[in-house]
Amino acid sequence: MKLTNYKKQGNIITFTVSGVDVKLLNALRRTIIAGVPSMSVEKVTFYSNTSILNDEVLAHRIGMVPLTTDLKTYTMPAECSCKGKGCAKCTVTLMLDVSGPRTVYSGEMESTDPNVKPVHEKIPLVKLTEKQKLKFEATAQLGLGKDHVKWQSGIAAYEEKEKDTYDFMVESFGQYEPEELLNQALERIGERIKEVKSEVG
């Protein structure tokens, strides 16, 4: 296998790879899209919401806000010692308490962990008019893109240039640097191959 033309531009990495089976590239593409966990809001408790959007619609908008992700500190709730109940090792709380008139932006949510916060500060959540109030506590947790698109942390694609030579592209949505997304996906493929190997014996 040979890797050439490696380039990074912002959140995008491109490279040319030759002498590799296309099935492996497809596994890598699918793992980048659906198999690398990232943080997203899964639960919102509203203490006050007199905005024009009802709780369900607003909770969905909050869930779709990409959050910077720290995979060294957090575990998937199902694999956590709390058995998915939610604790400091698998969840982060983001809080907001504001009154209108104003537009409320993603960056105003205050996170209990500075390493887990909105990637983009200026995503409008809702517009409040005079006397409208919004107060909530949101709980973020790790999840996979295959379960909900809000946990998808990037896209990947490839194109055949000549026989057994492909241009590969990976773009991160900002939860990670693109090289970390690529490395996480490669590690996960490696782990799965090891699992199969140990089953075979």
Binding-site member from 13, 90, 125, 140 for Zn ion (CB under 5 A): 90
CB of 77 to Zn ion, least distance (A): 6
Q: Which stretch binds Zn ion (CB under 5 A): 30-38, 43-51, 76-84, 147-155?
A: 76-84
Q: Does 140 bind Zn ion (CB under 5 A)?
A: no
Binding-site member from 3, 22, 24, 82 for Zn ion (CB under 5 A): 82
Q: For the beta carbon of residue 172, count every other beta carbon within 10 angstroms.
A: 25
Q: Does 78 bind Zn ion (CB under 5 A)?
A: no
Q: Does 80 bind Zn ion (CB under 5 A)?
A: yes
Nearer to Zn ion (CB atom), residue 11 or residue 139: 139
What angle (nearest 5°) sits at the alpha carbon of residue 75, between those of residues 72 and 81? 130
Residue 41 burial (10 A CB sphere; 0-12, 13-18, 19+): buried
CA dist., res. 66 & res. 176, Å (int): 10
CA-to-CA dists, residue 182 to 28, 41, 101, 139, angstroms:
8, 23, 43, 27
CB of 165 to Zn ion, least distance (A): 45
Nearer to Zn ion (CB atom), residue 3 or residue 87: 87
The position carrying tokens 């014996």 is: 201
CA dist., res. 138 & res. 183, Å (int): 29
Question: What type of residue sits at position 75?
Answer: T
Q: Which stretch binds Zn ion (CB under 5 A): 16-24, 66-74, 82-90, 145-153?
A: 82-90
Residues that bind Zn ion (CB under 5 A): 80, 82, 87, 89-90
